Structure 1
Amino acid sequence: MRKSIFILFLISNIILAQNLHVEYLNQTSKYTNFKEDLYISNNKVLSIRDSIVNNSFDEKKAMNSGTNEAAFFIKEKLHKIIYYKNFDNKVIFNNYINGTNYYIEDLLPKINWNTSYKETKTIAGYLCNKATLEFRGSNIIAFYSKKLNYNSGPYKFQGLNGLILEIRDNDNPEFNSWIAISVEENNQSKVETPSLPENVKTISLKDFLELKNQENEKKFNKMIGGAPSGTVFTNKKIIRGGIEKNYEWEK
């Protein structure tokens, strides 16, 4: 009996000590995508969005096709964004304004997943079930695997009875999507995952967005300040095209 208890205790410790690494492809527009890595180790859960944007627009092909489509993309290095997610109802992540790094605290709205679907699909070798959610103005479709017993996923998404391997915006399926391209259980890689700095000062998401809007306004005013006399400018409100189209405090 004691031997059985010891074996059970040992197995439990092995399960708790398992590391998980999931690599997602995050499609942000028709032509651009990022790599995002999810790491889960004991009580540490974080996602890292890469600082390299990959562009698939073929300018020569578009010009030779005879269409009016035109776009210009450069493979550029951006800032790496880290989402610290080992909290119940919030995410802390870093982002930048004019090169200054901010730690933003995002109190997430109540997550009400609808899991009453029979539809399944296989992603990265795992059978997944469908779920839907209304999240900050987007109708989300998710696929999650019950075989991976983690209630996390890419970006800020979590709260399902299994790991989320795909997220899509149902109203804009070509963009705003994450799909797992590899899953490593018992990951033994030597990648050092960063920890949230101790006693870090955070700014609320609302205050950060207001600060960002102020900086954009300054840039706009600086741009029109050097324009020839008589030039007419229209400063239109930018419609958000990302997965978060509106926020709780804007309703």
Structure 2
Amino acid sequence: MKNTILLISLLASSFIFSQQIHVRYLKVLSSFTTTHEDLYIKDNQVLSIQDSVIVQNKLTGDWTMAVNLDHGRKPSKEYFVSDLNNDVEKNFFFTSSIDGRGFFIYDKVPKVNWVIDEKQTKKIAGYTCYKATGVFRGTNITAYFTKKLPYSAGPFKFYGLPGLILEIKPDNMDHEIWKAESVDKDDQSKIVYKPQFLNKDKISLKEHVVAKEERMNKIFAKVTNSISSSMGAHVKNNQRFTVEQKYEWEDNEAN
């Protein structure tokens, strides 16, 4: 009898992992804009695609500052490629665009030291989710994950919990927030999980961060110049408006 139960459990587990999971997240980009991110999981492979379609805030009817000042150029789709694992570090490959130039970047992301509180729960997309907290690259974050979907994955570069992350947000920001709107456990989309992006320049994460911040500093300079000097306003350089506030090499440089 025990052997039969074990066999049924193994078959059920095999069936779950052979299906393709699709989670659609609403992502809050800023106080003014939102977009969507689609996460796909199948056979130990993970692909997350952040949409290029940005929804404008109806109250302002305007794009974010960065988009306005980048010659009206809208964001491109961004891809995050990885595999399922629960190691202390995880290999990510992701795309990015800076001033119209496309990049393909390798990133080794350390696992968050999660603290789980199973007394704190909420329903998200029909699933009971448990609260977890931790620090991700210098930012205190709160996540909600479900054990009903046993995948150590989530949107963007988040992973490391004993279940799929359906909501995650920084504790001190009103943006960089992801929340699942829907979950399809038997998605039939044709997904290429290991895209090559041969038309994009391959660079290191550090090179990408430097290039991105140089571009943002030019934008900040435009903002400062456009503000009347009588207002006494100034926009600081090297501000990071993302959940990634401090990278691993910066810890090493500080020591």
Matches of 2:8 and 2:25, distance apart in 1: 35
1:111 aligns with 2:127: no
C-alpha offsets along residues 196-234 of structure 1, whole Å, 9 cap, x if unaligned?
32999742211111233345567889999xxxxxxxxx7
What secondary structure does 2:110 align onto? coil
- Higher-Rg member (1/2): 1
Q: How does 1:1-251 map to 2 (within 5 A)?
A: 11-59=12-60, 72-73=62-63, 77-86=74-83, 88=85, 89-172=90-173, 174-188=174-188, 190-197=189-196, 202-215=202-215, 236-251=236-251
Distance 1:53 1:14, change over 3 A: same
C-alpha offsets along residues 32-85 of structure 1, whole Å, 9 cap, x if unaligned?
1110000001122010000111111424xxxxxxxxxxx833797421000002
Greater mean alpha carbon deviation, residues 6-15 or residues 154-163 = 6-15
Distance 1:236 1:194, change over 3 A: same
CA RMSD of aligned residues (A): 3.4
What secondary structure does 2:112 align onto? coil
Identity, % of aligned positions? 39
TM-score with structure 1 length normalisation?
0.78
Q: CA deviation at 1:167?
A: 0.2
C-alpha offsets along residues 80-106 of structure 1, whole Å, 9 cap, x if unaligned?
000002165121101112322211111
CA contact (8 A) 1:52 1:76 kept: no
Matches of 2:122 and 2:220, distance apart in 1: 46
| Aligned residue identity for 1:104 | I
C-alpha offsets along residues 82-134 of structure 1, whole Å, 9 cap, x if unaligned?
00021651211011123222111111124210114410010000000000011
CA contact (8 A) 1:53 1:76 kept: no
Q: CA deviation at 1:192?
A: 3.3
Distance 1:33 1:217, change over 3 A: closer
Matches of 2:123 and 2:12, distance apart in 1: 28
Matches of 1:57 and 1:23, distance apart in 2: 22
CA contact (8 A) 2:217 2:238 kept: no
Aligned to 1:67: none
What secondary structure does 1:127 align onto? strand
Q: What is the count of residue pairs matched by the alignment?
A: 230
CA contact (8 A) 2:169 2:177 kept: yes
Q: CA deviation at 1:242?
A: 1.4
C-alpha offsets along residues 119-161 of structure 1, whole Å, 9 cap, x if unaligned?
0010000000000011112110000000111110111000100
CA contact (8 A) 1:82 1:93 kept: yes
Aligned to 1:227: none
For structure 2, list consecutive stretches of 5 or more residues without a partner in the other structure.
225-233
Distance 1:117 1:217, change over 3 A: same
User: Which structure dedicates a bigger proportion of its chain to strand?
Assistant: 2
Q: CA deviation at 1:195?
A: 2.4
